[in-house]
Amino acid sequence: MPNHVERGTGPARRGLRDSEKQLAVVMIAPAVLYIVCMVGFPFILAVCYSLSDATTGDPSLHFVGLGNFKAILQDPVFRKSLGNTFIFTLISQTLVIILSQALALALTQEFRGKWLARFFILLPWTAPIALGTIGWLWMLDSIFSPFDWLLRAVGLLGSPQALLGPLSNLYWLGEPSLAMASVVLVHMWRILPLATVILLAGLTSIPHEILEAAEVDGAGFWRRHVQITVPLLRPIMSIAFLFGLVFTFTDMTVVYVLTRGGPVHSTQVLSSWAFFKGIEGGDLAQGAATAIFLFPLLAGVAALILRLARRTEIT
């Protein structure tokens, strides 16, 4: 790894310092300005909305204090959304961290048709998520689902004695628990390639000699994996986890396309509820207040993992 410690500054370079400082500021200014105007300002505006009674019809700001937060905290749909956001994110990301290790380890090996396998495995991440989710929507269709057809074909569904009941379909997106499982599955499906790709990069950076030495010393596959690979991968795993967390936690596309939060809000998440409330319902104030719950959680988690990653790098 390259050394980033400041090099000693000779007298010749000291003369350049002032102009370099100006250049640094000029080069960084457009990015900072853009972010202040297009992220910072709207963010503050969103906070203002959440403290007001603004609606689409009357978007002027009359401050009402924390009234919106009090109201949404008493709303059972909001509580359900808050819980679902955590449940969906944690379950899908736990599965991703476990499965991506297996997949990344497999992809470090050479085998026939590897490029094709890679292409297939990356598809959920490379394809626009709204379009990939539409594929799932058709696969989880209430009447024409191929899963239901398979279950009927093997006799698990659709006959009076069948294990999964006499109905001809499971109604994947109509049954609350199945709908929740479907959302988790699609989130996992989508993030798995990203986590795998990140872990793969970490794996290829581990020196072969260490693993070979351990193998010579008689360490088996699991011992090598748990005692050498995983500790060395920890910073990169945190990064993979961080990105997965962020993408899943803030995403509303999967829920919007798949279930629209239904049946009866059983798959509603914070961002989809904010969208339905603030956009389709026209209640800018409560929509903004709902969405603001996403931010501190994200910032906290991100700061934590960034610190973790940097500390591991130093030691």
Rounded to 5 degrees, φ, ψ at 52 are -120, -175
| Residue 45 engages another protein in binding (rule: CB under 8 A) | yes
* Residue 39 binds another protein, judged by CB under 8 A: yes
Query: With CB under 8 A, what is the number of residues at the site for another protein?
Result: 102
Please pick, from the candidates 66, 201, 226, 230, the single residue that binds another protein as defined by CB under 8 A: 201
86 binding another protein? (CB under 8 A): no
Residues 144-173 that bind another protein (CB under 8 A): 144, 146, 149, 168
Chain positions 210 to 269 lying near another protein, rule: CB under 8 A, are 235-236, 239, 243, 246, 250, 252-253, 256-257
Out of 73, 94, 138, 227, name the contact with another protein by CB under 8 A: 138
Question: Closest CB to another protein among 230 and 279?
Answer: 279
- Nearest CA-CA partner of 252 in 186, 311, 313: 186
Q: How many CB atoms lie within 10 A of CB 123?
A: 13
Residue 235's contacts (CB-CB under 8 Å, 6 or more residues apart) are: 202, 308, 309, 312, 313
Q: What is the torsional sign of CA 187, 40, 68, 283? A: negative
Binding another protein (rule: CB under 8 A), the pick from 66, 98, 130, 167 is 130
Binding mask 272-311 for another protein (x = CB under 8 A): --xx--xx----x--xx--xx-xx--xx--xx--x--xx-
- By beta-carbon proximity to another protein, the closer residue of 164 and 298 is 298
List the interface residues with another protein, window 18-37 (CB under 8 A): 20-21, 23-28, 30-32, 34-35
Q: Where are the alpha helices (DSSP H) in 143-283?
A: 146-153, 176-204, 208-216, 221-224, 230-250, 253-258, 270-275
Angle 254-260-262 from CA coordinates, rounded to 5° = 115
Please report whether residue 98 would count as binding another protein according to CB under 8 A: no
6 class by beta-carbon count within 10 Å (0-12 exposed, 13-18 middle, 19+ buried)? exposed
